[in-house]
Structure 1
Amino acid sequence: MKTEKEILCEFVGLVFQSENTDSKDVYSNINLMKGSLTSVRMAANDALEICSYMSKSEQERLNSKMLEAGLPSLFSLQHKAFKEFLKISNRGSIRNEKEFYLVSSLSENSILNKEHQNTAYSLLESYELPRT
């Protein structure tokens, strides 16, 4: 069974069409596996954001590639991110950098409706204010 890190690395590689082993390719599985799980999660959140801008047919093609590679479906990864956002939203605050990047990523794509986007912007603003 693949670890969370392996799954996310393969997903990021598929989204960024990066399967070569060039040492300069930051999105290659080899380079991603060298990073921390937190950095891989951040890259996966970025990849999810990119996916939200894809057409439905592109998303379905990516979903098929993911299933062929033994990965969870794109839709389940998007749903997982949305569920995590709802937890943060219900709590009313962002606790750490990982949550900040998740909310930031989701706030800029079509996964959230207008009401959730407004909530995301409020959460981001509240998190950033004490830091400035």
Structure 2
Amino acid sequence: MKTEKEILAEFVALVFRANDTFDCLSKENLMKGSLTSVRIVANDAIEISSQMRKTDQAELDSKLLSIGLPSLSSLQDKSFREFMKVLNRGSIKKEQEYRLVRSISETELLSKEQKECAYYMLERYEL
């Protein structure tokens, strides 16, 4: 399973793909930085992608799905991004995170692998 950093770096690289000026935003270069810096750039990419034409959003969405990444609407969803932080950590630490993971795991936003990890974290927290 891809880490949160890998998912966000690939997403940013796709959003900024058309502009060679932003070579610093390639997946390879983003992976060299910290997770926090990748999250910051990903937030900017999410904001930019929400301003794209619907046809461009649909094209980006199909590219994301074709390489095994979450859909554009998932990445634009703040609760999904919070879920990815918990999933990346691998454990639920507080009640609020438990409720978040439980609610997201009951949707169609997650891949089969992500759902299995979510159920595992829920089980461990409940014990």
Fold shared per TM-score above 0.5: yes
Greater than 2 Å deviation, 4+ residue runs: 80-84
Coordinate RMSD, CA, aligned:
2.5
- State the 1:57 CA deviation: 1.1
Query: Equivalent residues in 2 for 1:8-47 (5 A)?
Result: 8-17=8-17, 25-47=23-45
Pick the structure with more helix per residue.
2
Superposed CA deviations along residues 39-75 of structure 1, whole A, max 9, x for unmatched, are 0000100000110110111101100000001000000
- State the 1:76 CA deviation: 0.5
Structure 2 alignment gaps of length 5 or more: 83-127
Superposed CA deviations along residues 75-124 of structure 1, whole A, max 9, x for unmatched, are 0011136886xxxxxxxxxxxxxxxxxxxxxxxxxxxxxxxxxxxxxxxx
Aligned residue pairs: how many? Answer: 82
Q: Percent identity?
A: 65
Structure 1 alignment gaps of length 5 or more: 85-132
Q: Distance in 2 between matches of 1:38 and 1:79?
A: 18
Is the contact made by 2:74 and 2:80 (CA closer than 8 Å) also made in structure 1? no
TM-score by length of 2: 0.58
